[in-house]
């Protein structure tokens, strides 16, 4: 049985948490190399990697899950790329807060092929952990304030559980109010 803290286990539902540092085979190399201390990993069926499917299959609470999307925009011919991390119960405000944070006229999701190629991660599993140097990471305040969040691992066959404060402390991370809320 897992020795994960109770709050970490809560966001993982029925998934078995394993110390991430001891299970690098469940992670891409760049994610394994950049793990925050105390991170946990769980193996999942890749067919339920999307949040809604994982909520149904493993009892993962949506409010404890975070999604990472990659957004880009241009200003004066310079492309600006950022990963946006928001709770699964919200969406990134790409056309408002993210666009303003990037200081661009138009922001849009990076095409899937580019996001996968440049991150070195699988589509549907992109995580803010281990992203390329120079990428900004916009972390919604609600994620940063969460005790623990379940996020992608870089692969569709696993998920990470990390402290919200550790997501906010990743290289290139900035905490901002970037989520649309009802």
Q: 4-57 pLDDT, tens per residue? A: 999 999 999 999 999 999 999 999 999 999 999 999 999 999 999 999 999 999
Return the C-alpha torsion angle 168, 127, 46, 6, nearest 10. -20
User: How does strand 179-180 pair with strand 78-87?
Assistant: unpaired
* Number of compact structural domains in the chain: 1
Residue 1 lies in a domain: no
The predicted-structure confidence for 47-87, as pLDDT tens digits, reads as follows 999 999 999 999 999 999 999 999 999 999 999 999 999 99
- What pTM was computed for the model? 0.95
Domain presence at residue 129: yes
CATH code, 46 = 3.90.960.10
**Residue 96 resides in a domain:** yes
In a domain, 77, yes or no: yes
Contact 144, 166 (CB under 8 A): no
114-141 pLDDT, tens digit per residue, is 999 999 999 999 999 999 988 999 999 9
Residue 168 parent element (H or E) = helix 164-168
**Domain-embedded: residue 122:** yes
User: DSSP labels for 4-51?
Assistant: --HHHHHHTTTPPPEEGGG-GGGS-HHHHHTPPTT-EEEE--GGG-SH
Range of the domain at 133: 6-180
Q: Tell me if 76 sits within 8 A of 70, measured CB to CB.
A: no
Q: Does residue 104 belong to any structural domain of this protein?
A: yes
Taking a C-beta distance cutoff of 8 angstroms, is the pair 146, 62 a contact?
no
For residues 137 and 124, give the distance between their C-alpha atoms in angstroms, rounded to a whole number: 17
Q: Who's near 125: CB < 8 A, 6+ residues apart?
A: 49, 152, 153, 154, 155, 156, 157, 158
């Amino acid at each position: 049985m897992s020795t994960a803290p109770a709050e970490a286990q809560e966001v993982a539902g029925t998934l078995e948490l394993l110390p991430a540092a001891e299970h690098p085979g469940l992670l891409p190399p760049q994610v394994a190399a950049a793990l925050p201390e105390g991170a946990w990993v769980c193996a999942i069926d890749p067919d339920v990697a999307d949040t809604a499917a994982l909520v149904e299959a493993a009892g993962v609470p949506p409010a404890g899950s975070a999604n990472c999307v990659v957004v880009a925009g241009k200003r004066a011919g310079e492309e600006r790329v950022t990963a946006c991390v928001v709770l699964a119960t919200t969406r990134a405000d790409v056309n408002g807060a993210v666009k303003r944070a990037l200081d661009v006229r138009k922001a849009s999701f990076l095409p899937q092929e580019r996001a996968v190629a440049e991150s070195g991660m699988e589509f549907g599993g992109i995580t803010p952990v281990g992203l390329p140097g120079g990428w900004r990471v916009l972390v919604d305040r609600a994620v940063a304030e969460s005790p623990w969040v379940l996020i992608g691992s870089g692969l569709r066959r696993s998920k990470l559980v990390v402290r919200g404060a550790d997501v906010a402390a990743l290289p290139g991370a900035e905490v901002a109010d970037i989520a649309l809320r009802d």
